[in-house]
Amino acid sequence: MTAAEAMKANFEEKRRVEKINGVTVMLSAMPAVNHNRVVTNLVNIFSRYLRGKRCEAFFDGVQVHLDENNTFVPDAMIVCNKDIIKRDGIYGAPDLIVEVLSPSTGKNDRGPKKDVYERHGVREYWIADTKSKSVEVYLLRDGHFVLDNIYNVYEDWEWEQLSEEEKAAAKLPLKVSLYDDFFVDVREVFERV
């Protein structure tokens, strides 16, 4: 077996599946390097902050079972209700879900998955984009997701071009709604990306 054949077999063997509104969707088994970097950065950020707190972070590979027609594998999530954590996955709505956009999943992450997360009461939903180095933050308000903000990483030359008003408006520390003192530096989310 050649290296290419081995890689293809490994890829096909590890494909993951999600169910969105009753439709089975195949996920890539091998995310891109920058996708993995963002998830790894989130692992470090979330784990560091949540140590010793009641909420717990989970990462790529843990299934979320919202109902019989909707089962997802988010890139990262925070769960505060210990009763929904079971041996084989999360059975109920996490408090915060992060999806890192991939070319094959972006449409679902911004469309039907976002709608399902909203319908099931996920309190906060992040969409991280490795290309634009941005995080869209949606907060659940009266049963509907509302775009709270889009947090961007600015290159040094871009930052220098901003006016003082634009710099003041550019929000780099991302506030996590679950805790009063939980702030994430968006630059850390995209470190090495």
Structure tokens of 92?
């109920």
Query: What pTM did the predictor assign?
Result: 0.86
Q: Which CATH class is domain 3-189?
A: alpha beta
Domain ranges of the chain: 3-189
Tell me the C-alpha distance between 52 and 130, whole Å.
30
Query: Residues 15-28: pLDDT tens digits?
Result: 578 888 888 887 76
Using alpha carbons, select from 99, 145, 98, 139 the residue that is nearest to residue 119.
145
Cβ neighbour number for residue 192 with a 10 Å cutoff:
9
Residue 158 has a pLDDT of 87
User: Which of 35-44, 64-73, 109-118, 164-173 has the lowest average pLDDT?
Assistant: 164-173
pLDDT interval class at 155 (50, 70, 90):
confident
Q: Are 20 and 116 a contacting pair, CB within 8 Å? A: yes
Residue 3 pLDDT exceeds 60: no
Mean pLDDT in residue range 81-100: 97
The residue to which tokens 């717990």 are assigned = 56
Residue 9 has a pLDDT of 44
Residue 30 has a pLDDT of 66
Q: Which of the listed ranges 81-90, 97-106, 148-157 does the model predict with the highest average pLDDT?
A: 81-90
- Higher-scoring residue by pLDDT: 30, 158: 158
Query: Residues 31-79: pLDDT tens digits?
Result: 789 999 999 999 999 999 999 999 999 997 899 999 999 999 999 999 9
The percent of residues above 70 in pLDDT, for the chain, comes to 90
Residue 26 has a pLDDT of 76
